[in-house]
């Protein structure tokens, strides 16, 4: 098939229909391809192996530290606006991967951003945060080897925001965030503070740090790297590194998951809601069964295939088989949806069971009554 840029994409069970767009990111924005580093990465994660993590900035220095057993950090976080969904699941798995490979690990609850951007009062985001952290722990984050914090309670990130403010013009802010209220710009400065927090003296000083994010977050990474550069002399910052993962499509086939479209599910939707969303999902199937048996499906554009590829089928052989069975017309959409619903519901059930055990611990970590 052809991408919208007209370039041919190769047949690839781990590919998507918009590879050409990712190529553009390499060329125009200076994001480097992840693939050439892959062979050096110890036990690459599912996302790395499947090219879902497709790009990076300066990941080499983090990889060096990993391989040599030197200190490095990983930071990610969540805006406490609602339940864990497949997007948050992704970053959590990424930081757990780095935690298990020796990183000093930071998980930020972006409650200031939730307040400034989504008008969520701190009393409310506090409750959501407890729920989010319980999810985090259930997914395997080790709190003994990681620092989980709320922006509103971590004065260092506010102080970094104050330091950085002097160097940020209105033009820069508008270019990245558009014409917004001051609180939103302040939240952006604080997020830059989050990214450089692992390098503060109190946390052991400058070190390679990786921020695993969706590629849509790159403007913020570049913004923070610019600030790290400006304040490098005084604070000794090492420019933060990033890895970029592809963004998941909505279940309706639209390019993004969106609350408004209800085209995704959370880990806490009722089983019947999840089943219904998957049942009703757009697929890469053909107009008729006959056609599909003859021509095969198009997994590259199929959100059901994508949630399996990204999240729910860990075995590479198994997902490759699914891809080929679809391509050859052997596996039809109805059947694949049924399989997927089973896998997802099994995962969700098990996750919820585990999570219950972590609610008190989450409360304790966040110091919430």
Interacting residue ranges for a copy of itself, rule: CB under 8 A: 112, 115-116, 119, 152, 155, 158-159, 161-170, 173, 179-187, 189
* Nearer to a copy of itself (CB atom), residue 169 or residue 288: 169
Short-list 364, 362, 307, 365, CA closest to 336: 307
* Closest CB 179 distance from a copy of itself, rounded Å: 6
* Nearer to a copy of itself (CB atom), residue 41 or residue 187: 187
- In angstroms, the Cα distances linking 222 to 47, 173, 174, 199 are 22, 12, 15, 17
Helix (H, G, I), strand (E, B) or coil at 367: coil
Tokens, residue 155: 């004065």
* Nearer to a copy of itself (CB atom), residue 47 or residue 149: 149
* Closest CB 229 distance from a copy of itself, rounded Å: 17
C-alpha triplet 134, 138, 142: angle, nearest 5°: 90
* Nearer to a copy of itself (CB atom), residue 123 or residue 315: 123
Helix (H, G, I), strand (E, B) or coil at 53: strand
* Nearer to a copy of itself (CB atom), residue 27 or residue 166: 166
* Closest CB 116 distance from a copy of itself, rounded Å: 5
* Closest CB 111 distance from a copy of itself, rounded Å: 10
* Closest CB 85 distance from a copy of itself, rounded Å: 25
Instruction: For residues 186 and 27, give the distance between their C-alpha atoms in angstroms, rounded to a whole number.
Output: 31
Tokens, residue 202: 């109190």
């Amino acid at each position: 098939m052809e991408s919208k840029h007209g370039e041919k994409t190769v047949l690839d069970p781990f590919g998507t229909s918009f590879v050409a767009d990712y190529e553009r990111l390499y060329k125009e924005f200076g994001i480097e391809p992840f693939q050439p580093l892959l062979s050096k990465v110890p036990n690459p994660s599912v996302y790395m192996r499947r090219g879902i993590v497709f790009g990076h900035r300066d990941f080499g220095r983090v990889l060096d530290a990993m391989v040599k057993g030197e200190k490095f950090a990983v930071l990610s976080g969540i805006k406490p606006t609602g339940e864990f969904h497949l997007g948050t699941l992704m970053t959590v798995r990424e930081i757990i991967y780095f935690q298990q490979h020796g990183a000093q690990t930071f998980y930020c609850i972006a409650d200031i951003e939730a307040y400034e951007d989504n008008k969520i009062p701190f009393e409310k985001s506090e409750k959501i945060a407890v729920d989010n952290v319980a999810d985090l722990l259930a997914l395997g984050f080790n709190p003994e080897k990681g620092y989980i914090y709320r922006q509103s309670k971590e004065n260092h990130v506010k102080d970094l925001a104050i330091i950085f403010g002097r160097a940020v013009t209105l033009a820069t802010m508008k270019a990245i965030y558009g014409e917004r209220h001051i609180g939103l710009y302040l939240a952006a400065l604080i997020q830059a503070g989050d990214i450089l927090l692992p390098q503060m003296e109190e946390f052991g000083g400058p070190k390679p740090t990786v921020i695993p994010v969706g590629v849509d977050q790159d403007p913020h990474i570049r913004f923070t790297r610019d600030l790290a550069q400006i304040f490098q002399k005084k604070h000794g910052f090492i420019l933060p590194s990033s890895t970029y993962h592809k963004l998941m499509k909505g279940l309706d086939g639209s390019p993004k998951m969106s609350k408004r479209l209800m085209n995704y599910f959370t880990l806490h939707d009722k089983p019947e809601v999840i089943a219904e969303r998957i049942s009703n999902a757009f697929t890469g199937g053909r107009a008729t069964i006959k056609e599909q048996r003859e021509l095969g499906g198009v997994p590259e554009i199929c959100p059901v295939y994508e949630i399996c590829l990204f999240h729910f089928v860990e075995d590479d052989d198994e997902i490759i088989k699914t891809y080929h069975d679809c391509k050859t017309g052997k596996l039809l959409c109805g059947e694949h949806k049924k399989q997927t619903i089973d896998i997802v519901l099994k995962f969700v059930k098990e996750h919820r069971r585990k999570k219950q055990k972590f609610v008190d611990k989450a409360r304790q970590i966040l110091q919430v009554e």
